[in-house]
Amino acid sequence: MALTIGTQTDSDFGTGVLARARMRAALVPDLLVEAQRIANTVVSGWHGRKRRGSGDSFWQFRPYDVGESMARIDWRRSARDDSVFVRDQEWEAAHTVWVWADNSPSMLYRSEAAAVSKQSRALVLAFALTEVLSRSGERVGWPGVTNPIASRRAAERIAAEISMANPSAEVAFPATEGLRGRSELVIFSDFLEPVDNTIAKINAVARQGIRGTLVHIIDPAEHTFPFRGRTEFRDPETGSTLTFGRAETISSAYINRFRARQDVLAERCRKLGWNHLVHTTDTLASTALVAVHTRLSGMRG
Amino acid sequence: MSLFGLSFAAPALLFGLLALPLIWWLLRLTPPRPREEVFPPTRILAEIEKQEETPANSPWWLTLLRLLMAGLIVLALAEPILNAREDQTSGTGPALIMLDDTWSTGADWDARVVTTQRYLEEFAAAGRPVALAFSSLGARADFTPGAASELQPLVAASEPQPVQPDNLALAASLTASEVAFGTIVLLSSGLNETNAPELMAAITAKSAGEVIVVRAETLTTRALGQLENRPDVLVAPVVRATNGDTAAGTVGAFDRQGRLLGQAPFSFSAGDTVTNAEFALPVELRNDIARVEINGSSTAGAVQLLDERFRRRRVGLIAGGNADRDQPLLSPLYFISNALAPFSDVREADSANVVETVERFLNERISTLVLADIGRIPTAAETQLREWLDNGGTLIRFAGPRLAAAEDDELVPVTLRRGGRSLGGTLTWGTPQKIVSFEADSPFAGIQVPEDVAVTRQVLAEPGIDLRDKTWASLEDGTPLVSAARFGKGTVILFHVTADASWSNLPLSGAFVDMLRRIVAVSNGSVATEQLRSQTVSASAENTDASTTPQAVISLPPLQVLDGSGRLTGPGSDVRPLETGTGTAINVSLENPPGLYGTNDAFAALNLFGENAQLTALSDSDLPAGARTVGYVEAEPFPFRAWLFAAALLLLALDCLAVLWMAGALRLPRFGSAARLRGASVILASMLALPLFLASAPAFAQTASSDANAVIDFENTLKTRIAYVRTGVSSVDAISRKGLTGLTQFIASRTSLEPGPPVAVDISTDELAFYPLLYWPISTDAPLPDSETMARIDAFMKRGGSVLFDTRDQISGGFGSSRLTPETQRLREILATLDIPPLEPVPENHVLTRAFYLLNVFPGRYLDGRLWVETSQREDEQDADRPARAGDGVSSILITANDMAAAWAVEPDGAPSLPIVPPNPTQRVYAYRTGVNIIMYTLTGNYKSDQVHIPALLERLGQ
d(CA B674, CA B677): 5
The string of DSSP codes covering B846-874 is -GGGTSSS--S---SSSSSPPPEEEPPS-
**B674 and chain A in contact, CB less than 8 A:** no
Which pLDDT tens digit goes with each residue over A81-131? 888 999 887 766 567 788 888 878 888 888 888 888 888 888 888 888 887
**B668 and chain A in contact, CB less than 8 A:** no
User: Could A229 and B37 be called an inter-chain contact, meaning their C-beta atoms sit closer than 8 Å?
Assistant: no
The secondary structure of chain A in percent helix, strand, coil, rounded to multiples of 5, reads 40, 25, 40
pTM of the complete model beyond 0.80: no
Which pLDDT tens digit goes with each residue over B120-170? 888 888 888 888 888 888 788 888 888 888 888 888 888 888 888 888 888
Query: In this structure, are residues B83 and B5 in contact, taking their beta carbons and an 8 Å threshold?
Result: yes
**B671 and chain A in contact, CB less than 8 A:** yes
Q: What are the backbone dihedrals phi and psi of residue A31, each rounded to the nearest 5 degrees, phi first?
A: -65, -35
Burial of B105 (0-12, 13-18, 19+ CB in 10 A): buried
Bridge partners (DSSP) of residue B433 are: B455
Which pLDDT tens digit goes with each residue over B730-766? 889 999 999 999 999 999 999 998 888 898 988 888 8
The pLDDT score that the predictor gives to residue B323 is 52
Contacts of B421 (CB under 8 A, 6+ apart): B457, B458, B459, B460
The secondary structure of chain B in percent helix, strand, coil, rounded to multiples of 5, reads 35, 20, 45
Query: In this structure, are residues B415 and B482 in contact, taking their beta carbons and an 8 Å threshold?
Result: no
**A184 and chain B in contact, CB less than 8 A:** no
d(CA B656, CA B677): 18
As a whole number, the mean pLDDT across chain B is: 78
Quickly list H helices, B364-424: 379-390, 401-405
Q: Name the residue of chain A whose CA is nearest to B43's CA.
A: A235
Instruction: State ipTM.
Output: 0.71
d(CA B101, CA B189): 8
The letter for the amino acid at B7 is S
Residues of A in Cβ contact (< 8 Å) with B40: 106, 109, 190, 192, 219, 222, 235-237
CA distance A158 to chain B (A): 28
Q: How large is the greatest C-alpha to C-alpha distance in chain B, in angstroms?
A: 142
Q: Among B32, B41, B44, select the one facing A230 at the smallest CB separation.
A: B32
Which pLDDT tens digit goes with each residue over B81-132? 776 666 667 778 888 888 888 888 888 888 888 888 888 888 888 888 888 8
In angstroms, the Cα distances linking A261 to A115, A191, A193, A269, B672 are 25, 9, 10, 13, 31
Q: Would the CA dihedral through B581, B583, B586, B591 be positive or negative?
A: negative
Quickly list H helices, B663-786: 674-695, 701-718, 730-750
Q: Nearest 5°: CA angle at B752, between B750 and B756?
A: 90
d(CA A173, CA A187): 8
Give the residue among B387, B370, B377, B439 at the shortest CA–CA distance from B408: B377
Pairing mode, strands B723-725 and B759-761? parallel
**B659 and chain A in contact, CB less than 8 A:** no
Residues of A in Cβ contact (< 8 Å) with B47: 257
d(CA B672, CA A110): 13
Residue B703: pLDDT band with limits 50, 70, 90:
very low
Lowest-pLDDT range of B123-132, B418-427, B494-503, B753-762: B418-427
Q: How far is residue B187 CA from its own chain's centroid?
A: 37
Q: How many CB atoms lie within 10 A of CB B935?
A: 25
Q: How many CB atoms lie within 10 A of CB B22?
A: 10
**A113 and chain B in contact, CB less than 8 A:** yes
Q: How many CB pairs under 8 A join A and B?
A: 124
In angstroms, the Cα distances linking B678 to A112, B31, B109, B189, B899 are 14, 28, 58, 66, 54
Q: What are the backbone dihedrals phi and psi of residue B294, each rounded to the nearest 5 degrees, phi first?
A: -75, 125
Query: In this structure, are residues B473 and B444 in contact, taking their beta carbons and an 8 Å threshold?
Result: yes
Query: In this structure, are residues B95 and B123 in contact, taking their beta carbons and an 8 Å threshold?
Result: yes
The pLDDT score that the predictor gives to residue B737 is 92
User: Could A231 and B676 be called an inter-chain contact, meaning their C-beta atoms sit closer than 8 Å?
Assistant: no
Query: In this structure, are residues B720 and B933 in contact, taking their beta carbons and an 8 Å threshold?
Result: no
**B510 and chain A in contact, CB less than 8 A:** no
The pLDDT score that the predictor gives to residue B776 is 92
Residues in chain A: 301
Query: From the CA atom positions of chain A, what is the Rg in Å?
Result: 23
Query: From the CA atom positions of chain B, what is the Rg in Å?
Result: 46
State percent of chain B over pLDDT 90.
5
**A261 and chain B in contact, CB less than 8 A:** yes
Give the residue among B42, B41, B189, B173 at the shortest CA–CA distance from B96: B173
User: Could B38 and A6 be called an inter-chain contact, meaning their C-beta atoms sit closer than 8 Å?
Assistant: yes
User: Could A112 and B670 be called an inter-chain contact, meaning their C-beta atoms sit closer than 8 Å?
Assistant: yes
Contacts of B167 (CB under 8 A, 6+ apart): B135, B193, B194, B195, B196, B198, B199
Which pLDDT tens digit goes with each residue over B850-887? 888 988 889 988 888 888 888 765 544 444 444 444 44
Query: In this structure, are residues B772 and B890 in contact, taking their beta carbons and an 8 Å threshold?
Result: no
Q: What are the backbone dihedrals phi and psi of residue B123, each rounded to the nearest 5 degrees, phi first?
A: -65, -40
d(CA B749, CA B937): 18
